[in-house]
């Protein structure tokens, strides 16, 4: 797995402390994190960085394909994760947990779309909303 310095170098970005620390938070989390979650994680580590700086760095990392933005039904808005592995999620509308899918159900569909339409598919995103086993049980009870 690539470290934060290596990620920045491979994206052609300067290795700044703020960029390294933001990537570090995403590496440590193992799941998508909100910008506010990154901000508070940095504060817990003793970093003095503004929320607007976190957003600016995230936008730059998204532009350079080092980070991916996920939409969400939570009130926090977007979530962010490292763009190092192609992932899709099941999102629980009850507890807002996100469950990663092990494989991509859209690979063959992308090829089919390209063959039928001539459209050059460069990527996709998939989130499926519903209720996890725990929340489904609570809704019935």
Q: Do residue 10 and residue 75 come from a single domain? A: yes
> What is the rounded end-to-end Cα distance, in angstroms, of the chain?
44
Confidence of residue 22 (pLDDT cuts 50, 70, 90): very high
- Spatial separation of the C-alpha atoms in residues 134 and 10, rounded to whole Å: 41
Q: What is the CATH number of the domain that holds 96?
A: 3.30.1490.190
Note the pLDDT tens digit of each residue in 24-58.
999 998 788 999 999 999 999 998 899 999 999 99
Q: Do residue 72 and residue 8 come from a single domain? A: yes
Residue-range definition of the domain harbouring residue 130: 86-141
Is the alpha carbon torsion for 51, 57, 59, 62 positive or negative?
negative
Q: Do residue 13 and residue 50 come from a single domain? A: yes
Confidence of residue 62 (pLDDT cuts 50, 70, 90): very high
Residues that constitute the known binding site for Fe cation: 86, 124
Q: Do residue 103 and residue 50 come from a single domain? A: no
Residues of the chain above pLDDT 90, percent: 35
Residues that constitute the known binding site for Zn(2+): 92, 95, 132, 135
Domain count, the chain: 2
Q: Of 84, 102, 123, which closes a domain?
A: 84
Q: What is the CATH number of the domain that holds 61?
A: 1.10.10.10
Q: Do residue 75 and residue 29 come from a single domain? A: yes
Strands (E), the chain: 33-34, 67-70, 79-82, 89-92, 98-100, 127-130
Q: pTM for the complete prediction?
A: 0.74
Please give the pLDDT value at position 10: 80
Residues that constitute the known binding site: 86, 92, 95, 124, 132, 135
Q: Do residue 7 and residue 27 come from a single domain? A: yes
């Amino acid at each position: 797995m690539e470290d934060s310095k290596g990620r920045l170098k491979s994206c052609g970005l300067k290795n700044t402390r703020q960029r390294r620390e933001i990537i570090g938070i995403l590496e440590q989390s193992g799941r998508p994190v909100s910008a506010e979650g990154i901000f508070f994680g940095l504060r817990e580590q003793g970093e003095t960085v503004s929320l607007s700086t976190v957003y600016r760095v995230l936008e730059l990392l998204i532009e350079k394909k080092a980070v991916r933005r996920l939409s969400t039904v939570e009130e926090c808005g977007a979530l962010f994760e490292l763009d190092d592995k192609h992932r899709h999620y099941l999102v629980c509308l009850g507890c807002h947990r996100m469950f990663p899918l092990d494989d991509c159900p859209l690979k063959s569909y992308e090829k089919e779309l390209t063959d039928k339409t001539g459209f050059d598919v460069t990527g996709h995103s998939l989130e499926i909303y519903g209720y996890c086993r725990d929340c489904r049980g609570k809704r019935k009870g």
